[in-house]
Every structure is written in C-alpha cells, then in structure tokens.
A and B are shown apart, each in its own frame.
Chain A
Amino acid sequence: MHELSIALSIVDECANEALSRGSTRVISVYLKLGELSGVVEEALRFSFNLACEGTALEGSRLLIEQVPVTVYCPSCEAERVLPSIQVFRCPICETLTPEVVRGRELEITAIEIEESNAAGNNTAGELQEVAR
C-alpha cells in the first residue's frame, strides 16, 4: 500500500503548480495511470481523498486515464495493445515480446485550477486562454 505516499506527492505537486500560477484552489487533477505502474486505482482514489484534506485540493476530482500496456512486436513490426498483463505475447501473431512501449505511466497530465480575475494582473494571452 504505497498509494498514500503517491497520493501525497500528487497533492504536493498540484498545489505547487497551482500556486506558481497564482491559484490556491485545484478543481480537478488529470492523471495517466499505466497498467504496469504498480499502482492500484481504488487504493489511489481512497488515499487521494485523504491526502487532499486541508490543502488547495480539498474537494477536487481525480480523473484517471488508464493506460493499457502496449508492446512492440518484432515479428509484426508493430505496436500492439496487450489484452492481459499476464501474457506478454503479441495478440495477433503470438510472438513473445518483452518490449514495453507504454503502460508504466504515473503522470499528472493537467490540472484545472480556480483563477481569480480580480487581481487584474493577467496577461492578455492568459485572458484569451480563460475565455476559450
């Protein structure tokens, strides 16, 4: 159960990221979670809610994109998604293949933050981005 320490890292990282952009509230966190990351989604969700308490992420949503394992099949010379991580075999030609292309991700891809316009120090570019 190392998900709590991972959740704490996520909260830290996102709070800092938000603060560096002048925001003290994170609304959502977008996370890529590879099937080979060694992290269990349910345990992470549970830990995340605990880790958020009393921080800029309190009440935030954790949006997880599960990333299946993609291997490179040397016989097909193509990338293939594995139906099961118990069998590292090309699903088409059945060649055993150890080469993992994707599926180890544990990555914060984006955060949604609450931004104050009252400060009046937004650049024109930032305002345009907010408007979009």
Chain B
Amino acid sequence: MNTQPRLVEVRKNVLKQNDVLARGLRERFLQSAVYVISLVSSPGAGKTTLLERILSTLREQGLQVAALVGDLATENDAARLARARVPVKQITTGTVCHLDAEMVERALASWQLDEFDFLFIENVGNLVCPSSYDLGENLRLVLLSVTEGEDKPLKYPTIFNTADLALLTKVDLATAVEFDLDQARSNIESVRPGMQVLEVSAKTGAGLAELGNFLLSKLPNRAAVATF
C-alpha cells in the first residue's frame, strides 16, 4: 500500500467549543437581563470574603443576587457565601484549575436566571489558567490583595489584560505590609491601560459603596435602585 504525506489547512480555534458555549451563555444572560460578574485572583486574595459582603449588601438593597463558586475540592466557600442568604452553588472542579463555560452552563441548569439582577461567578484561585476561558460574563473582576506585592500584574499580565475592573483588596493592611498603592496602580495601568482600579477592604467596608455603585451603574434599569 502506497502512502503519501499531505498538508491540509485546518484553521480551528482550539478553544472554539468553549467560546461557542460562552457566547450562548452571554446571549442567555442578556435575554434574562442578568448582569454577570466573574472574580479571578490568586488563592487567598479575598474573593470569597469580598463576595460575601457584596452579596449581603446588594440583597439588603432589594436586589436579587446569586453566586456560583468554583473550587478544586471543598464546598467551604459555598457554605461561607450561603451566609449572605442568597442562592449559591458550588462547582467542584476536581483537579481542573479553572472554570470553563460548560461547567457554568451545567451549574446554571436548574436556575431561573431572569429572577436575578446580578450573578457572580467566583473562579478557582489561580492567576494563569482562568485567563484562557471565556465564561460568558459581562465583567471580569481581577483582585490583587495588598499582602501579595505590587508586581503581581507584571508577573501575570495575561489575566490582568483580560480583566475589566481591578480591585486592590485588604487595603486596611496596606500600611502594615508597606504596600505601595501607587506602584500597584501603575503596574496595572502598564498591562491593561485604561482599566479602572478600586481600593476595597471587606473588613472595614472601605470602598464597598464605590464598588456597589459601579455595579449598580451596570443595571439596565438603574433609576429604580438607590445608590449606596
């Protein structure tokens, strides 16, 4: 039998399947009029603590909020977020270091999305892998805690570049750990020019009103809701 090598053009995006699912999710979010925010950061930057505060605050304002939370193994984060008395679902990824659109779609199967104003998706703590996966979210929040060092954006430019809003978290500790807020801002600006940066502390509540107002400004019918 005679065999010949042959070169054939393919032109296929490797993550096409994820991108197609993400596009479908985005369309579904739009039709349900729910605004979807994902949170990415390294482990321990304070995603869950901050989210717990945001969820309670928005709920107290009469808004309907829900959260999906990704974690490798435990369901501790979901238990913590459930204290905010809003619908929460855990996505346990096993050994997978990021969420993808299919996991989000599966987790949302039993939820009526049009009941919600905001849906938050907390990604697995990881500054590398989540950057490749579109989850259909409207806004990607990247968190950088003051205990991490100002140069994180330069070390992980890709994740910062794919984000839409940056939060400097645990700012109540900034002085104690000699964190240079201006340097951090300048590093973020370098890898994602023009991205807004907010300083927050889930512990003292600093900056949370500003963050809340930022999120409210994203609601289509914002006139109906008071500002913080």
Contacts and interface: CB of A to CB of B under 8 A. Distances in A.
Interface stretch (B55-63, B113-121, B190-198, B212-220): B190-198
Given A98-B193, A108-B12, A108-B14, A115 B157 contact: no
B223 interface: no
A36 interface: yes
Contact of A110 (B3, B10, B129): B10
Contact of B15 (A9, A30, A31, A112): A9
Nearest to A14: B10
Contact of B17 (A9, A97, A110, A116): A9
B10 A111 contact: yes
A37 B157 CA distance: 11
The interface residues of chain B, by DSSP majority, are classed as mixed
- Interface range on chain B (Cβ under 8 Å from partner): 35 or more
B132 interface: yes
Contacts of B191: 85-88
Contact of A114 (B3, B97, B159, B190): B3
A6 B8 contact: no
Contacts of A114: 3-6
A10 B190 contact: no
Interface of B: 1-15, 17, 96-98, 128-129, 131-133, 154, 157-159, 161-162, 189-195
Interface of A: 1-2, 5-6, 9-10, 13-14, 17, 21, 23, 27, 30-31, 36-39, 85-89, 96-98, 100, 106-118, 129-130
